[in-house]
Structure 1
Amino acid sequence: MDADAIIIGAGACGLMCAVQAGYLGKKVILLEKNDQPGAKILISGGGRCNYTNIFAGDEQFISANKHFVKSAFTQWTVADTISFFETYGIYGKEKTLGQLFPDGKNAKDVVAVFTSLCADFGQRLICGAQVMDIIVDEGSFTVKYEIGGKTKTLKAPKLVMASGGLPIPKMGATDFALRFARGLGLNIVETAPALVPLTITGKDEDWYARLSGNSVFCRVSNDRIAFEENILFTHWGLSGPAILQISSYWKRGEVFNIDLLPGQQMGSLIEAERKQNGKTLLSTLFNRHFTRKFTDALAKFLPVEKQVAVLTKAELENIEQIIHEFKVKPAGDKGYDKAEVMRGGVDTAELSSKTLECRRIPGLFFGGECLDVTGWLGGYNFQWAWASGFVIAQNL
């Protein structure tokens, strides 16, 4: 045997697994397709790396089994993540909604923590390694990979699949983990892009495009969930944090609502303005809450140049509905090229939630994004990656 375990993928999960295995005196070999480890870590948060969220718990994750992540998050908590990085000089600074970023440091420093520790523990990191085949025997796993035009072979009693999901193909993302699992007869929960911008086509396409660049703080909701954050109009449709969040809960053909003025009632604002100055134009009132460009765009749906005193009951009802229940029916999404993560993946029913080991194939583990575990925007998916890497290492 060449090592105690072979880890496929040196992303967040694979790197944490290698380091935690090192603490336990276990030797692993990481095979990374890219020419450097931590590719998605390096681009996360615009290179700043939102490495966890202080509010992370099982309720912010989507999975066919909503309870699956509980065991991992008990074994490796947010406090553990914070403590781990602080030990190596990375201190968190909260930005918004619990998002922690390295204070005065960046994503490169996060990756450097892992590469330095891997070197200290003598863990082998092989980059530029394209895995060609994995042979599963009783009691061992043989991995054939290509590097520099040569085919090489490694053998170990344990195998960790941490090769990620489908988003951002230009960063080397592939369906390798899914194909491997499917080839072993494991069930795959249907996959789709998640945390992804949504596209608008048809009669309203130009309306959205003309607002490109405008950002509005909103409450975006459907019958399952709601998020209050900014939305961003783009030349293809909608993006911004609130849209990325709702996209994970959206399916093609569905409609969701946008409350353009959360926490306030436009009807009450109009009524108050009528008492103070009935000659005020609706556009003037809107301009106190929206950009002038956005107010002008609302003219397509609302009588913005009418005085508030003369608005009819029907017009008032329409204003309330447009402002607080603006209906959006996206045509689709921007796909894996622009998605932050993947929804779906290897069915969690195939694994032990306590160890992340495959029930049917002892010694085989799955962690990180290739599993049917999808977190919210804002450091949640990193917390899952660290936790799953830790859990697997304890059981190698």
Structure 2
Amino acid sequence: MNADAIIIGAGACGLMCAVQAGYLGKKVIVLEKSEKPGAKILISGGGRCNYTNQFASAEQFISANPHFIKSAFTQWTVDDTIGFFETYGITGKEKTLGQLFPDDKNAKDVVEVFTSVCEDFGQEIRCNADVKDIEILPEGFKVSYEKNDKTVVLTAEKLVITTGGLPIPKMGATDFALRFARKHNLKIIETAPALVPLTITGKDEEWFAQLSGNSVFCEVSNDEISFEENILFTHWGLSGPAILQISSFWRRGETINLNLLPHQDIVALLDEERKNNGKTLLSTLLNRIYTKKFTDALGKFLPLSKPVAALTKAEIDLIEQTIHRFKVKPAGDKGYDKAEVMRGGIDTNEISSKTLACKKIPNLFFGGECLDVTGWLGGYNFQWAWASGFVIAQNI
């Protein structure tokens, strides 16, 4: 045996697993298809890395089994994540909504923590290692990979697959874990892009495109859930934090609702303005709330040139509906190229929630994004990666 365990995938989960295994005196070899470890960590948060969220709990995750991650989150908490990084000189600074970023460091420093600790423990990270075959042996696993046109064979008693999901293929994302799972008759929950921009086509396309670059604070909702954050208009549709959040709950053909003024009542504002100065034009009032470009665009739906005092009840109802219940029916999404994570994955019923071991194949473990566990935007998916990496390390 070359090691106690072979870890396939040097992303957030695989790297944490390797470090935690090192703490326990276990020898692992990490195989990474890309040129360097932590590729997705490096681009997260625009290179700043939103590495956890202070409010992370099972409530912010989508899964066919919403209780599955509770055991892992009990074994490795947000405080554990904060303490771990503080040990290596990375202190968190909250941006918004509990999102923690390194205070005076960045994503490169986060990856450096893992690579340097792995080096201290003698854990090997082999990059440009393209795994071609996994053979299940009576005593463990034989993994064959190609590097520099040569085939290398490794054996270990335990095997860990943390190869992530399908998003951002240019960063090395593959369906490796899903293919392996299907080959061995493990159930897969249907996958789809999540935390992804939404596209608008047809008769509304031009209206959205003209607002490209404009950002508005909104409450975005569907029949299931709502989020309050900015939306961003683009030349192909909608993006921004609130849209990325709702995208994980959106299905093709559904309509979403935009409340363009979530903390105020537009009808109350109109009444107040009518009392103070009824000659004020609707456009003037809306320009106090939105950019002129956005107000002008609303002119497609609203009587902007009318004085507030002259608005009819039907017009006030139209204004109320447009501002607080603006309906959007996206045509689709921008796909895995632009998605931050994958929805769906290996069915968690195939995995032990306490150890993350595969129930059907002894000594095989799955962690991170390849499982049917999808977090909200804002550091939640990293918390799952760290927690699942820790749990696996305890059991390999």
Per the normalisation by structure 2, the TM-score is: 0.99
Aligned to 1:333: 333
Measure the CA separation in 2 of the matches of 1:294 and 1:286. Answer: 9
For residue 223 of structure 1, report the CA deviation from its aligned partner. Answer: 1.0
The alignment partner of 1:110 has SS state of helix
Aligned positions of 1:110-125 closer than 5 A = 110-125=110-125
Q: Quote the offset at 1:138 in angstroms.
A: 3.0
Residue 107 of structure 2 is matched in structure 1 by: 107
Distance 2:105 2:308 in 1: 52
Match of 2:149 in 1: 149
Matching residue of 1:251: 251
In the alignment, the residues of structure 2 paired with residue 169 and residue 125 of structure 1 have an alpha-carbon distance, to the nearest angstrom, of 21
Taking the aligned partners of 1:17 and 1:138, their CA distance within structure 2 comes to: 24
State how many pairs are aligned: 396
Report if aligned partners of 1:164, 1:370 keep a CA contact under 8 Å in 2. yes
- Alpha-carbon displacement from aligned partner over 1:60-86 (angstroms, at most 9, x marks no partner): 000000011100000000000000000
Q: Name the counterpart of 1:130.
A: 130
Q: Name the counterpart of 1:380.
A: 380
- Compute the displacement of 1:137 (Å): 2.4
Q: What amino acid sits opposite 1:325 in the alignment?
A: R
Q: What SS does the aligned partner of 2:10 have?
A: coil
Corresponding position of 2:288: 288
Cα distance, 1:273 vs structure 2 = 0.6
- Which residue number corresponds to residue 215 of structure 2? 215
Q: Which amino acid aligns with 2:111?
A: V
| Partner residue, 1:277 | 277
Shift of 1:139: 3.0
SS at match of 1:34: coil
1:48 corresponds to: 48
Provide the residue aligned with 1:16 in structure 2: 16
Secondary structure of the 1:384 match is helix
Q: Deviations over 1:302-322 (max 9, x none)?
A: 111111111111111111111
Deviations 1:141-160 (A, max 9, x none): 11110000000101111100
Does the residue aligned with 1:119 lie in a helix, a strand or coil? helix
The residue type equivalent to 1:187 in the other structure is K
CA–CA distance in 1 between the matches of 2:373 and 2:48?
24
Equivalent residue runs for 1:39-188 within 5 Å: 39-188=39-188
Q: What is the alpha-carbon distance in structure 2 between the residues aligned to residue 291 and residue 137 of structure 1?
A: 65
Identity across matched positions, percent: 78
The one-letter code sitting in structure 1 at the alignment partner of 2:211 is L
Work out whether 1:227 is the aligned partner of 2:203: no
Conservation of the 8 A alpha-carbon contact between 1:139 and 1:363: no
**Which residue number corresponds to residue 360 of structure 2?**
360
In 2, Cα distance between the equivalents of 1:133 and 1:167? 23
Q: 1-side partners of 2:137 and 2:356: how far apart? A: 19
SS in 1 for 2:133: strand
**Deviation >2 Å, runs of 4+:** none
Which 5+ residue runs of structure 2 have no aligned equivalent?
none
Q: How far did 1:371 drift?
A: 0.4
Distance of 1:309 and 1:103 partners within structure 2: 51
CA distance in 2, matches of 1:280, 1:137: 79
2:149, 2:359 → 1: CA distance? 36
2:6 counterpart letter in structure 1? I
By how many angstroms is 1:51 displaced? 0.4
1:362 CA displacement: 1.1
Q: Which amino acid aligns with 1:169?
A: P
Residue deviations 1:72-101 (CA, integer Å, cap 9, x gap): 000000000000000000000111111111
Unaligned runs of 5+ in 1: none
CA distance in 1, matches of 2:195, 2:338: 9
3-state SS of the aligned residue for 1:327? strand
Length-normalised TM-score, structure 1: 0.99
Once the two structures are TM-superposed, the CA of residue 136 in structure 1 deviates from its matched residue by 1.4
* Two-structure CA RMSD over aligned residues (Å): 0.6
